[in-house]
Structure 1
Amino acid sequence: MTKTGSARRLAAAGLIGAAYLALCAAFPALSFGQIQVRFAEVFTLLPLFTPAGIWGVTIGCALSNIYGLALGTNIIGIWDIFLGTGATFVAAVLTYKFRDIQFRGLPILSALMPVLLNALVVGGELTMVMSPTFDLRIFWLNFGSVGLGEFIACFVIGLPLYRYLQSSGLAFRVFSNID
């Protein structure tokens, strides 16, 4: 890889991370907690276009979780910086790996990765904070709540955005010079 390619990939990851953090900072009440629609999670679909999206959303998620902790809105606390960010990283990698598996031109399996992993991990984190003896009923409520918010970000907003970026040619113009 050339120095120019590395610099472009690093710059793209930084811009994605900054945009992720900006959206979480703009909507802190919706970005943290039991009922959340973290609009920044729409960026978890960017690995469909570039591997730089993997690092961008991971960095953005880590910074957002630190920001939420400092602000006092991240009720999970320091664990979310590691576990929540880890879930986002794994989801981004799987989103990238499954990008070529499509149904009617949409990467449904890729979009499902952030929904399932965040519902599982963040739902589990929330349950540990809310229930000293890990109540499975509370876990399923948290799993469903976080999963629904992720579904809104990835399917209701993300997939139409993906289709638009593809059909308009904007995805090619924006992401073709990164890798």
Structure 2
Amino acid sequence: MKNLTRTSSSTVQTIVSTAIIAAMYVAVTMIIQPIAYGPIQVRLSEMFNYLVLFKKRYIWGVTLGVFLSNFMSPTWTLDVPIGTVSTLIVLFFILWLAKFTKDMRIKFVIMGVIFALSMFTVAGELYIAFKTPFWISYLTIGIGEALSMAIGGMIMYAANKRLDFANMKL
């Protein structure tokens, strides 16, 4: 019975942490909604991607947050499936890459660069939906993502010093 209680408690904690992270992602995206979508975008909520470096189970909260936020996108019919799956794939890829270094600062840089490079998916969506020039969109969205990840990375790195995300009961 004791083992069953521990398992159900762990399950509840995972569900709650997933919901909290998703809600934070959606809330920050809603606050910055005018600049969170389109050919020039800075989605500061992307900073929550860094949580995955501390606990891999946070991948589900971040992905759910992206899924829900993408319903507000002008290209939501493309953004919901493509953006969500792209985020999940990139996060799993980064988790794999992160195994090769212990230095959290290097992990943050790797994540920021990979996410900026992955913005070809959003540029593709905009090309399909609005015929915006792919390469120009890729450049502007990539720069916006790099900016989001750089600012968000500094915030999350500093927050981790105070909160210790790896050991936090979230």
TM range (shorter): 0.7 to 0.9
Alpha-carbon distance change, 116 to 164 in structure 1, aligned in 2, over 3 angstroms: same
Q: Secondary structure at the match of 1:2?
A: helix
CA distance in 2, matches of 1:88, 1:17: 13
Q: Could you say which residue in structure 1 is the equivalent of 2:3?
A: none
Q: Could you say which residue in structure 2 is the equivalent of 1:123?
A: 123
Q: Is the 8 A contact 1:38 1:153 kept in 2?
A: yes
1:43-75 per-position Cα deviation (integer Å, ceiling 9, x unaligned):
111110112221111111111111x1xxxxx22
RMSD: 2.2
Cα shift at 1:79? 1.0
- 2:15 pairs, out of 10, 13, 22, with 10
Q: Is the 8 A contact 2:49 2:91 kept in 1?
A: yes
Deviant stretches of 4+, over 3 Å:
100-105, 165-169
Which amino acid letter does the alignment assign opposite residue 87 of structure 1?
Answer: S
Q: Could you say which residue in structure 2 is the equivalent of 1:111?
A: 112
CA distance in 1, matches of 2:114, 2:68: 21
Alpha-carbon distance change, 102 to 25 in structure 1, aligned in 2, over 3 angstroms: same
Q: Could you say which residue in structure 2 is the equivalent of 1:90?
A: 89
Cα shift at 1:159? 2.5
Q: Could you say which residue in structure 2 is the equivalent of 1:57?
A: 62
Which amino acid letter does the alignment assign opposite residue 140 of structure 2?
Answer: S
Q: Structure 2: which 5+ residue stretches go unaligned?
A: 1-5
1:68-115 per-position Cα deviation (integer Å, ceiling 9, x unaligned):
1xxxxx222311110011111112222322234449641122332322
Alpha-carbon distance change, 40 to 49 in structure 1, aligned in 2, over 3 angstroms: same
Q: Is the 8 A contact 2:55 2:166 kept in 1?
A: no
Which amino acid letter does the alignment assign opposite residue 97 of structure 1?
Answer: W
1:116-136 per-position Cα deviation (integer Å, ceiling 9, x unaligned):
22x1100111111222xxx8x
Q: Could you say which residue in structure 1 is the equivalent of 2:145?
A: 150
Q: TM-score, normalised by structure 2?
A: 0.84
Which amino acid letter does the alignment assign opposite residue 45 of structure 1?
Answer: Y
Cα shift at 1:16? 0.5
Q: Is the 8 A contact 1:98 1:110 kept in 2?
A: no
Structure 2 counterparts to residues 15-94 of structure 1, below 5 A? 15-66=20-71, 68=72, 74-94=73-93
Alpha-carbon distance change, 102 to 159 in structure 1, aligned in 2, over 3 angstroms: farther
Q: Is the 8 A contact 2:44 2:152 kept in 1?
A: no
Q: What is the aligned residue count?
A: 163
CA distance in 2, matches of 1:171, 1:53: 10
